Amino acid sequence: MKNVLIIGSTGQIGSEFTMKLRSIIPNGQIVAGYIPAAPVKGELKESGPSEIVDITNAQQIADVVEKYDVDTIYNLAALLSAVAEAKPQLAWHIGIGGLCNVLEVAREKKCAVFTPSSIGSFGPSTPKDKTPQDTIQRPTTMYGVTKVSGELLSDYYFKRFGVDTRSVRFPGLISNVTLPGGGTTDYAVDIYYKAVQDGSFVCPIKAGTYMDMMYMPDALRAMYEIFEADPAKLKHRNSFNIASMSFDPEMIYAAIKRQMPSFTMTYDVDELRQGIAESWPNSLDDSCAREEWGWKPEYDLDTMTTDMLSVLKERYSK
């Protein structure tokens, strides 16, 4: 992996991952693909090449791949879960129509492809606790439908055409850089910002609702490390369960309160997001990722909370 195109580089994951790859691969070309509605700005723009790449436009993808001799495409363009429910046709158009474009370009240009999946690929009939790597996937949201379809399509292109497709199923991602953007698990990001800025938080998810979560530094590392893995050892490809921590709102509240004793939290449940959350697993079994490519998280709830609060307090004290 040397010359990389990141489609969706200005999004929740892409903005941080682009900068991380540029620090890891300083002699390569890490191209930030963006759409005019979400332009590249600041350090992201100044630190490396950027190009307009609409995932629904196969020719744009192909042109950029050829221009920069791209060997790996990270396809990070998608609507988040709650937004996808409001715009299901668009979610399919971007999530699956766009993925078809990426995979076809990769087949023709001999590129590897990473397309993230999610805990949203599971559904209410999936085992809730320690959800296995290989299990029933019958999601009840358009977001989940696109993720399952994306896993199958990526596996098809590997088996049928030899495209090096790899993926992970992300839990909820918590970042100290990117603000919440319409995901079901975003309450676990917002709570830290509100704790530092306001000292209180109104939680949209019911107490007792467990979901798998991960701190963004671990997620970014997983995206890179999966392509460092020996392909001969990969029994699975699309897509690996990866896990770090599982908690409900009361547990994250308690973790923050241990460091900010005056912090308070109340509830005003968002029924749409609550319904989505209840259809997802409580926790994932990531033993296949650990065995096949050495996955191991570095953060748990307490170490993440310490880091999040430290970074946000410094930022908002200025």
Best CA proximity match to 77, nearest among 15, 144, 153: 15
Does 143 participate in catalysis according to the annotation? yes
- Pairing label, strands 211-215, 172-174: parallel
Q: Are 121 and 104 in contact (CB under 8 A)?
A: no
The DSSP 8-state label assigned to residue 93 in this structure reads: I
Using left for φ > 0, alpha for ψ between -120 and 50, and beta otherwise, residue 130 falls in left
Q: Per 3-state DSSP, what percentage of the chain is helix, strand, and coil (rounded to 5)?
A: 45, 15, 35
Query: Which of the following is catalytic: 34, 74, 143, 253?
Result: 143
Burial (CB count <10 Å: 0-12, 13-18, 19+), residue 279: buried
Coil, strand or helix: which one is 225? Answer: helix
- Residues with catalytic annotation? 143
